[in-house]
Chain A
Amino acid sequence: MSELLTAAGLTRVYGRGAAATRALDGVSLSLEQGEFVGVMGPSGSGKTTLLNCIATIDRPTSGSIVLDGRELTGLRGRELARFRRERLGFIFQDCNLLDTLTAFENIALSLSIVGAPAREIPGRVREMAELLGIADCLDKYPWQMSGGQQQRCAAARAMVTRPALVLADEPTGALDSKSARLLLDRLEDLNRTMGATILMVTHDAFTASCCRRVVFLRDGKLFLELRRGELDRRAFFQRLIRVVSDMGGEMADVF
């Protein structure tokens, strides 16, 4: 499989002089086409900063990020917006659906923004909604849907444009366990059947256990990498839990 994303020597420093904080300290990470990678770490470990840098929302102090052969750190203004809407999909913890739009319109809007042909849009929205199991609530407003439905709607919005890379920031953070499992199952399906490349940040071992590979961050540095290999999800979950407890008190707040 070909390499999709290469981040090399990413460093992000907030503040200056004595007050400077190194949120990222020389992180290197690469993703292959069709991978499903999790990033774990305690709060303050720099995982959200890493995601934001790759998402082009934040800019690293030094280091390079290459996606699909393009260097992202040099993109500016319109080019950046264009790259973001055509190549990336986002799923956030608070699903960030627009409350004035129906589910259908929320998903359709991201296609409108990309400038997809109007005729194709309803079909593509329905197709993606089927895949995520929200076809029956397309005409509802966000506040009429459950949290799980909202989050799957957000996932549909992120993936309907067929982005090269889907970035998920704690997507199950605000969900109950049943809705979380439903969402993760769907993401796994999409990863397997459509070959979508997903990078997910989480501090929850259960959520991370559906990934094919999990990297651990601590104090802004890459600390450990685990591959799921042939393990089933339950066994992978056990391994992740062991790592987390080995990491000790720092992650105790997670459980």
Chain B
Amino acid sequence: MFSKLAIRNVRRSFRDYGVYLLTLTFGVCLFYTFNSLDGQAVMVYLAQNGNPAVETILVLIDIFSVFVAAVLACLILYADRFLLRRRKRELGTYLLLGLSHGQVARVLFLETGAVGLLSLGAGLALGTLASLGLSALTLSMFQMDLSQMLALTFSPRAAGKTAVYFGLIFLLVMLFSGLQVSRSKLIDLLRGDRKNEELKPRPLGVSVLQFAAGAVCLGAAYAILLTFGMAISVAVPVLCVPMLGLGTLGTLLIFRSLPGFVMRFVQRRPGVYFKGLNLFTLRQWLSRVHTTYLAQTVVCILLLLAIGITASSVGMNSAIESAAGGQAPYDLTVYSGAPEEELVDLNQILRNRMVDPAQVFAWEYEAVIYYNDPEVTREEGWAALPLSVYNALLSHLGQPAYEGPLPYCPENWGADPAFGYLGSFLVIPDEMAGQLEPCWQIWFVDYAGDKERTEQIVLAAVDSPEAGFPEGYGYTSRLETWQDLMGSKILALFLGLYLGFTFLLAAAAVLALQQLSQGADNAGRYAVLRRLGAEEKLTVRSAGQQVALAFFLPLGLALIHSAVGMKAANDLIATAGHVDSVQSSVVTAVLLVLVYGGYFLATALACRRMARGR
């Protein structure tokens, strides 16, 4: 009997439960996706190659999951409190009909259980798809063809963990709603609708002053960040505390004063003020400000964190990627000390070990590098590179040949695409080589065919004492460099996305719940407007505008904050490598649009429906 009532309730108040369900489902999906990372194609690949980062990532995800679960628990409790408030009358009616507090609590208990199961199921299904999407995203970022590893997988371990964590959260929610009901008085429940919001007239002039003060605070915070740079501003408490304090205070003041400021401005323009329902929309906005500015500030900061973390983790990712390219421009570089009498023949070594060079190498270049002698070259430096060698390497990388004066000592040798990764060097005319002492023999190689298999074959032949290289032997492999870097890359990307998504979800859900509750409160006002003869189109538009203001103002300010923050952060990341800010901005924007836009649409549609009064 109670379970029937509970299930009917859930079905009937699906509209109210909509955002609640959406939040729960997204939460479960997020949690599952990041806890099933060990099944991700990239992680499997790294683990196969014995990369130590895999362990680190999984441990860190475990730790972060506890934090994420705490954030989601707070969010779900907040949503539950909102739902209970909406249903005060209904609960009061149950009590009036003679159900005991315990029985009402039981109905709620069962309802929460039903909603929990539903969202768990939907979330896990969505999570399975999402982890496939994440796989595709990471694979595309590695520019490696691992598509045969791309498959829909389900991780029972992650699903179990998700079920346990969310089970605990739901249990908490059940206890919480039971407590709420048992403590409430019947009269308060039945009169739940009549709660009046306190409206105090506040002179608009104060808003103008507050707005100016807010702008000054933000300006000062930005100035600190941009003047001293990210690293110093965050690390030095004398700068960090006032910067964060001023930024928060400024944001708070802006949100508190913006409606009044705009109102003051618009009131002087009758053409705008008296057009359609503008007057009504503005007043609605103004009347809400004192209940919403705090939430808007929190949402703005959450959005800033989401944008900042996601964008810098993606930015960091491309920085690391380009560093990998710079550290290993060729598939394989083998070097050995140059013997005094006869040079080593790499191809002969391979043939001796039953490998046909023509089959494994698509391109091969052999060069001798000399010790620099300042008496001959009149330049400082460690190694000397004949011009013909240098230009051959450049031309293989698709770079124009060097035609400047010789000897040429690159100022920033570390950034040199052709040779910089091996150390400091200078380029000499070919004929000068005869006067210098050979120091190294180097082979630059690009593989033919499947790179991984070829590398195994080649290294098996070359990288063993029997190959007989002289002293000073060593090699650099592009694949190995990549795999090392991949670990840190994945770490930055996954953790960034995980946290970024959590904050974004929290921000959007808080706003949606707040707007839905206000939309319901506004139903009476829309009825008055309809009686005054306002067209449905206008009232519905006004409702949409109110939701848009609530969603896009915090987003707008967060975008301004993060533009400033990203500039500082990019300068910092740029010291580690090149930053592709276009790419990181695009990825951030897509994520934002998906989650935040989804919530905005759901809320706006619901509020528009309420304005229609059906």
* Residues in chain A within 8 A of chain B (CB atoms): 57, 78, 81-86, 88, 90, 92, 96-101, 105, 108-114, 116, 118-119, 121-122, 141, 143-144, 157
B535 at the interface (CB under 8 A from A): yes
Does the CB pair B283–A101 fall under 8 Å? Answer: yes
25 contacts between A and B (CB under 8 A): A81-B535, A83-B533, A85-B532, A86-B533, A90-B532, A96-B528, A98-B529, A100-B280, A100-B283, A100-B286, A100-B287, A101-B280, A101-B283, A108-B279, A111-B274, A112-B275, A112-B276, A113-B529, A113-B532, A113-B538, A114-B533, A118-B273, A118-B275, A119-B270, A141-B199
Does the CB pair A99–B199 fall under 8 Å? Answer: yes
Contacts of B538 in A (CB 8 A): 113
Contacts of A85 in B (CB 8 A): 532-534
Contacts of A88 in B (CB 8 A): 533
Contacts of A83 in B (CB 8 A): 533
Contacts of A78 in B (CB 8 A): 535
B183 at the interface (CB under 8 A from A): no
Does the CB pair B528–A98 fall under 8 Å? Answer: yes
B531 at the interface (CB under 8 A from A): yes
Find residues 523-546 in chain B having any chain A CB closer than 8 Å to their own CB: 525, 528-536, 538
Alpha-carbon gap, A105 to B530, bound state (A): 17
Contact of A57 among B276, B279, B531 (CB under 8 A): B531
CB closest chain-A residue, reference B533 = A85
Main secondary structure of the interface of A (DSSP, over half): helix
CB closest chain-B residue, reference A80 = B533
Q: Contact residue range for chain B?
A: 20 to 34
- Which of A96, A100, A108 has the most B CB atoms < 10 Å from its CB? A100
Does the CB pair B536–A81 fall under 8 Å? Answer: yes
Does the CB pair A98–B280 fall under 8 Å? Answer: yes
B271 at the interface (CB under 8 A from A): yes
Contacts of B531 in A (CB 8 A): 57, 84, 90, 92, 96
* CB contact under 8 A between A113 and B533, given known A99-B199, A100-B286: yes
CB closest chain-B residue, reference A83 = B533
Distance in Å from the Cβ of A105 to the closest Cβ of chain B? 6
* CB contact under 8 A between A121 and B528, given known A81-B533, A99-B199, A105-B283: no
Alpha-carbon gap, A117 to B530, bound state (A): 21
Alpha-carbon gap, A8 to B529, bound state (A): 29
Contacts of A81 in B (CB 8 A): 530, 533-536
Find residues 165-221 in chain B having any chain A CB closer than 8 Å to their own CB: 199, 201
Alpha-carbon gap, A122 to B269, bound state (A): 12
CB closest chain-A residue, reference B267 = A105
Does the CB pair B271–A110 fall under 8 Å? Answer: no
Distance in Å from the Cβ of B433 to the closest Cβ of chain A? 86
Does the CB pair B270–A121 fall under 8 Å? Answer: yes
Contacts of B155 in A (CB 8 A): none
Contacts of A122 in B (CB 8 A): 270
Alpha-carbon gap, A112 to B528, bound state (A): 14
- Which of B278, B283, B286, B536 has the most A CB atoms < 10 Å from its CB? B283
CB closest chain-B residue, reference A116 = B274
Distance in Å from the Cβ of A114 to the closest Cβ of chain B? 8
Does the CB pair B270–A118 fall under 8 Å? Answer: yes
B117 at the interface (CB under 8 A from A): no
